[in-house]
Amino acid sequence: MKLAKLPDRTSVKMNVVLAPSLAKRLREYADFYTETYGSREEVAELIPFMLEAFLDSDAGFKRAKQRSTDRHMPLASGDRSSSE
């Protein structure tokens, strides 16, 4: 089958407590989003996309994740170490 197994798509609800200053900035960002795109979105709708964009743009996180993945990746059948 060409199609890989679909990833888990079950939403996870998380509650967070924000400092008043951060809550204000998030509301301002939602206002800026409205000005930019002409479409009103609630802060709660924007936050998952903001977090995903942040994580995707964090080069240090990507490198650490890649190193972790590399350490846990099994060798392919033709990739045996010369010490064997």
Cα–Cα distance measured from residue 25 to residue 49, given in angstroms and rounded to the nearest whole number: 16
- Chain-wide mean pLDDT for the chain? 87
Which residues of the chain fall short of a pLDDT of 50?
80-84
Spatial contact of 26 and 18, defined as CB atoms under 8 Å apart: yes
Q: What is the pLDDT of residue 78?
A: 55
Cα–Cα distance measured from residue 20 to residue 26, given in angstroms and rounded to the nearest whole number: 10
User: Could you tell me the pTM of the whole model?
Assistant: 0.68
Spatial contact of 30 and 43, defined as CB atoms under 8 Å apart: yes
Q: What is the pLDDT of residue 43?
A: 96
- Report the SS3 class of residue 64: helix
Cα–Cα distance measured from residue 51 to residue 54, given in angstroms and rounded to the nearest whole number: 5
